[in-house]
Structure 1
Amino acid sequence: MQRALARAVLVLAACLASHAALAAPTPKQQNGISYVNGGVGEDEQSAMRAQRGDYNLLLTFATKQSGAYRSDVQLDIMDTKGNTLLSAANSGPMFYARLPAGTYRISAAAEGKVFKRSVRIGTALKEMTLHWENDSVDDPGLQE
């Protein structure tokens, strides 16, 4: 009886592990920048959070008043010269990137509203949330 119970637990654990692996968004690369995009649904959000240690820029897109996540954001990350290094349509609600140390310009657009932020990436993790209601689209300055 104990052997059958142990087998059932192992099968259940394997099923849960494979389900979590299926929920994990696939990392991608663009111009040498690794990134992962997703977080639609609880399973995918958990899978994204499990990967957060692999990235140094964590972006979350949401609607401020309702708290609803957004997954329809056009995201562009540019260098200080204005060259687009990464461009991703239908981003969100979570977007993680691994960038070399430096200063970058982030442009995130949805519903005709474009957020522009400057961010300095160093050794510390940088996390930002952009809200699409009652949040100023004006650049608040360099985000340290």
Structure 2
Amino acid sequence: MEYFEDLTVGDTDAFGSYEVTAAEITDFAERYDPQPFHTDPEAAADSPFGGLVASGWHTAAMTMRLLVDNHLADGAARGALGVDELRWRRPVRPDDELTVTTEIVDKDDWDDESGLVSVAVTTEAGGEEVLSMVALVLYERRSHL
């Protein structure tokens, strides 16, 4: 279990393997972002994207899944206050395989029980950046136990 005191600015990690499917792209989009370039392969072919692409919000959700399974599962994270600098760098397409890298870029005291950790998150597909953000995560202090 990694607590606030265990984390150091500059720490990095790389992990994950998540294959994106066309069915998942359309299922997510039909529920949450029903624009034709996310839901209809034929319409998407005539869009500026030239084919079906995942919603940026879907990309963020898949990134979150990789973070929970590979990064946050072994830590004393207590939730997040939000994200800064969220950017979708290029569209995610069917059959893309996502990976994530993280870097701790800042740490601050929050209260007696928690510290605030700023984590730069980058999601890539095929070696290309598809998403970047800075997550603002509260971590439990070991001294609080």
Common topology (TM > 0.5): no
Larger RCO (CA under 8 A, 6+ residues apart):
2
Larger Rg: 1
Which bracket does the TM-score occupy, shorter chain normalised? under 0.3
TM-score if structure 2 supplies the norm length? 0.23
